[in-house]
A and B are shown apart, each in its own frame.
Chain A
Amino acid sequence: EPEVTQTPSHQVTQMGQEVILRCVPISNHLYFYWYRQILGQKVEFLVSFYNNEISEKSEIFDDQFSVERPDGSNFTLKIRSTKLEDSAMYFCASSPDRVYEKLFFGSGTQLSVL
């Protein structure tokens, strides 16, 4: 079955540094998402992206965050100046259409901000 691929699997960075998390969604999918899960907490929605623009973003997704689909295959999440509280597992997801059936999640990038 096709997969959503995320790289790197682990990322360690210093507070204040910029990080880019990368995702390759399933090839024929049109809708793309980022979620995060802080250790021991719920999976939280960050942003949805369709037709090269943000469809919806949560309160967490402030000006420090941005998303981009730089080419036909990659989908990235950039955090401009990382904070300790950004430490979490970040999941990319995609769906072929509106989520009438299911969202496909990647295995995640564990971000540690020191």
Chain B
Amino acid sequence: EDQVTQSPEALRLQEGESSSLNCSYTVSGLRGLFWYRQDPGKGPEFLFTLYSAGEEKEKERLKATLTKKESFLHITAPKPEDSATYLCAANAGGTSYGKLTFGQGTILTVHP
């Protein structure tokens, strides 16, 4: 069974304090690893897709990396507006392309 596990469950940072979120996955034939941001009462908002080990993508203060077993979302010098739940999801080979298996998310709080 495909599984995605995120850690920590919650992370509290001071503004400017860099850190990383972890996503471990057990997926048959990974086709894509996705990172989403979710604000309270809203749908997931796309951040990144990673396809192969060693790949990295950046967007503003966020950088996502991928290995054969896990992905990291690095947050550099975060601001209060980065506070949200960050979701990791995987698409496995042999399933329809839109079937994502999600982790439970990391709730990030950035204090001014």
Contact surface of A with B, Cβ cutoff 8 Å: 4, 31, 33, 35, 41-45, 48, 50, 55-56, 58, 91, 93, 95, 98-108
Q: How many A-B residue pairs have CB under 8 A?
A: 68
Contact surface of B with A, Cβ cutoff 8 Å: 32, 34, 36, 41-46, 49, 87, 89, 91, 95-105
> Knowing A101-B49, A102-B49 touch, does A41 contact B104 (C-beta < 8 A)?
yes
> Of A43, A55, A108, which is within 8 A of B102 by CB?
A43
> Of B32, B41, B96, B104, which is within 8 A of A48 by CB?
B96
> Knowing A91-B43, A102-B34, A107-B43 touch, does A55 contact B104 (C-beta < 8 A)?
no
Residues on A with C-beta less than 8 A from B91 are 99
Leading 7 A-B pairs by shortest Cβ distance: A105-B43, A56-B96, A98-B97, A102-B46, A43-B102, A99-B97, A55-B96
